[in-house]
Structure 1
Amino acid sequence: MPDRRQPDSSTDDNPFAAPPEGRPDEPWQPRGVTGAGGPGGPGQDPSPEGPARWDPTDPLQRRARYAVFAGMWGFFFGFFGIPSVGLLLGALALYWGVSALRAGVDNLGPAARPQRTAAISGLVTATLALLLAASSYAVQLAYKDFYVCRDDALTRTAELKCNTLLPDNPIGKILKVRQ
């Protein structure tokens, strides 16, 4: 088997390698603290307003992500007919989105662009979820007599007679009990 080539010590970037001949040992430090290319190490953007990294301990990033996910799921629950869960998730998404925007996402400058986008997306989806939940409750309140009649009907013919309580409009045609 041929001998393996040894890497040139001037280009070796192994943090665990022994120091070159003639240099004393130095205590280990993470690459973000020291490096040849600036604060981020070689090849990294040395500007403090570089791209923001995902940090699960940062409350601003967490709130922005929570706003997106809660708003999205609130919209889905509202759309598929579970308005109480949609209302809860929409309210939470609205709270998290507003708190992420107010708590300093704007103070970070261009580095916070993904978090700002996530917070605004969370606000949009939260608003949609709240509108779906509110419209569902409004329809149930406006056509309460129909829903009570339909739920109390013991036979199919009694359930069909509840259609007389609906108005002749598109919503009434959607809610109408089919034969």
Structure 2
Amino acid sequence: MPDRRQPDPSTDDNPFAAPPEGRPDQPWQPRQPQRPQDGGGSGGGPGDPGEGGGGPARWDPMDPVQRRARYALLSGMWGFFFGIFGIPSVGLLLGALAMYWGISALRGRPATDADPGGLTALGPAARPQRAAAVSGLVTATLALMLAAGSYALQLAYKDFYVCRDDALTRTAELKCNTLLPDNTLGKILRVQR
């Protein structure tokens, strides 16, 4: 009988190493991280779905509902910034997308009844995703209000904006100030000397 090599202790942690002799092959499963309160080796192993192992589900970028919650937050935030910086068309587009993604993330349901998904399937781990979707809705609302306010302002004072855009000299541009009302808003929009 040939002499068998002893297993190398450095391969004990290798997930791709062959199983020890006498142990049947098992399908590969990702390792579950052990939390400090688990107390060493209680639960949390790859094949042991014990009460102490695993922890809450993590963010899954492949889940469309969770992705939409993140997209809602990002596009709402950028739509708000574009609205503040005076680019209302981009702010309007991003605000509308954030509104759509935020609502669809909050209303998201699993693709099939047998396969749970969406924010409800995450349980306690859904809190950050729900917060991202709600924050996206809030910033989307602000972005849409800024864009609507900007368009309403341009519509209300259309004569001033046309005059200012058509002016060829600084003197002609300053004469456009007579088309503005004599209130705080008129002082803000006024062409400065």
- Range of TM-score over shorter length: 0.7 to 0.9
The CA distance in 2 between the partners of 1:80 and 1:8, in whole Å, is: 58
Q: Give the counterpart letter for 2:15 in structure 1.
A: P
- Name which of 146, 154, 159 aligns with 1:140: 154
Paired residues in the alignment total 168
Q: What secondary structure does 2:25 align onto?
A: coil
Partner residue of 1:122? 136
Question: Is residue 2:176 matched to residue 1:162?
Answer: yes
1:8 to partner: Cα distance: 9.6
Structure 1 unaligned spans of 5+: 1-5
Structure 2 unaligned spans of 5+: 1-7, 33-40, 110-117
Mapping of 1:12-23 within 5 angstroms?
12-20=12-20, 23=22
Residues 31, 85 of structure 1: CA spacing in aligned structure 2 closer, same or farther, 3 A cutoff? closer
- Name which of 12, 29, 46 aligns with 2:53: 46
Partner residue of 1:56? 61
The CA distance in 2 between the partners of 1:173 and 1:142, in whole Å, is: 15
Question: Is residue 2:100 matched to residue 1:95?
Answer: yes
Q: Give the counterpart letter for 2:167 in structure 1.
A: A
Percent identity, please: 73
Residue by residue over 1:93-115, the C-alpha shift from the partner in whole angstroms, topping out at 9 and shown as x without a partner, is 00000000001455233121111
Q: What TM-score comes out, normalization by structure 2 length?
A: 0.75
RMSD of Structure 2 on Structure 1 (CA): 2.9
Residues 178, 44 of structure 1: CA spacing in aligned structure 2 closer, same or farther, 3 A cutoff? farther
1:17 to partner: Cα distance: 4.1
